[in-house]
C-alpha cells in the first residue's frame, strides 16, 4: 500500500522490452515525481501483467542514473552486487520484473555521481 510519500507505478508487460526500457522509465518517473525507486516487483493490474515500481518522495531530490541488472542464481546476485558496489554504485533494491514478457529477477543500483 502506498503512503502520501510513496507512489507505485505499474509498467505494462508490453512496454518493457529490455532492462534499458525499465531503467529509462524509472529515471523519467523519478524526475517527474521528485522521488527515488524504493522497490520493484511483478504484479497484475486489471488482470494484466505489470512491473510495479514503488517510488518514495525525497526532500533533497538529486537524481542519479540507475543501473538495473538481471540475475539468475544467488551466486550471480552476490557477484553482481560486489561488482557494482566496487564500482561505486549504491545498491537500491532487488525484486522481480517482466522484461520482454518474461519474468526476471533484478537488482537496482544507483550509479556513482560524476566527479
**Percent of the chain scoring above 70 in pLDDT:** 93
Stretch 92-112: mean pLDDT? 95
pLDDT of residue 2: 52
- What residue spans define the domains of the chain? 6-57+65-110
Of the candidates 60, 72, 62, 71, which has an alpha carbon nearest to the alpha carbon of residue 108? Answer: 71
Enter the pTM of the model: 0.90
pLDDT tens track for 54-100: 999 988 776 779 999 999 999 999 999 999 999 999 999 999 999 99
Rounded Cα gap, residues 31 and 88, in angstroms: 22
Amino acid at each position: 500500500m502506498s503512503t502520501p510519500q510513496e507512489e507505485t507505478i505499474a509498467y505494462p508487460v508490453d512496454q518493457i522490452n529490455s532492462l534499458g526500457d525499465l531503467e529509462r522509465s524509472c529515471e523519467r518517473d523519478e524526475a517527474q515525481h521528485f522521488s527515488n525507486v524504493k522497490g520493484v516487483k511483478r504484479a497484475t493490474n486489471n488482470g494484466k501483467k505489470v512491473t510495479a515500481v514503488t517510488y518514495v518522495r525525497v526532500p533533497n531530490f538529486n537524481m542519479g542514473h540507475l543501473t538495473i541488472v538481471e540475475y539468475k542464481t544467488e551466486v550471480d546476485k552476490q557477484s553482481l552486487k560486489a561488482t557494482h558496489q566496487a564500482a561505486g554504485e549504491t545498491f537500491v533494491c532487488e525484486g522481480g520484473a517482466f522484461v520482454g514478457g518474461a519474468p526476471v529477477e533484478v537488482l537496482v543500483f544507483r550509479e556513482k555521481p560524476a566527479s
